[in-house]
Amino acid sequence: MADWSNPAPHPIIDVRGYAMTRGEIDATTADPFCGFNIGSTVFRAGPDRQKPPRTFMFESPVLRLAKDYGYGDVFLDGEDLTELPPGSAGIRRRSVIVHRYYDLASTLLGKHHHEGSYLFHESVLVSVTPPSDGRSWSAKYDWQTDTVHEPATPLPVEAGPGGSSILRIALPPRPENVSPAVEGHLRLVVSLWNDDQPQ
């Protein structure tokens, strides 16, 4: 245990970083510690650059706090003590609290919309190639639901006013029995900035 003593310790609140895809959001929600219990064994360079790297065993933020400083979680019999009614249960000062704000955006804990959560949360990549030799614009797209990847789905290009082109991307199908939700499509208008420079 580390040689450290604090006569008045405080709870530590961990806030998970950005989870982009639906899979990352659900994986974060499925983990009680939102990833703060995951360690690392990757090679770390030591202070002496003349020596080769060595394996550094970092158990995880949660485990290190428990081993070195006597911290514990706030879970009891499957319940998160911080979510119980006020006065029903207390927590120790040496507690690790995970701010589980991704629960509202996840589909794992129910399909009903909660105030403050997303009505729609997806990312889409669009690749657009300007016209050449008198041809029209060409475009591809893909929703980045589970992985980030190059767009490969052909996107029809409609003729727009003033020589512009219109791209329409339908939103993913609305899940069943979900209300409220979002339906519709994205409408993108592309055109040349001038006669020889694409916008």
**Average pLDDT across the chain, whole number:** 79
- How far is the C-alpha of 155 from the C-alpha of 125, rounded, in Å? 12
What confidence tens digit (pLDDT) does each residue in 21-56 have? Answer: 878 888 888 898 988 888 888 776 667 777 777 778
**Whole-number Å distance between alpha carbons of 115 and 100:** 15
What are the helix (H) ranges across the chain?
A: 22-30, 61-69
Q: What is the pLDDT of residues 95-126, one digit of tens each?
A: 999 888 777 777 777 655 555 556 677 788 99
- List, in order, residues 6 or more apart from 60 with CB less than 8 Å away: 36, 37, 38, 39
Question: Is a pLDDT exceeding 60 seen at residue 2?
Answer: no
pLDDT in tens, 128-144: 887 776 666 789 999 98
- Annotated domain spans of the chain: 12-105, 124-190
* Residue 140 amino acid letter: K
Distance, CA of 4 to CA of 71 (rounded, Å) = 13
Q: What are phi and psi of 21, to 5 degrees?
A: -90, 165
Q: Which of 26, 22, 18, 25 minimizes the C-alpha distance to 123?
A: 22
Q: What's the pLDDT score for residue 71?
A: 93
Per-residue pLDDT tens over the stretch 58-90: 899 999 999 989 999 999 888 888 877 777 778
DSSP secondary structure code for residue 96 in this structure: E
- pLDDT above 60 for 3: no
Tally the C-alpha atoms within 13 A of residue 28's C-alpha that lie toward its C-beta: 22
pTM of structure: 0.50
Q: Which of 101, 139, 141 is nearest to 122 (CA)?
A: 141
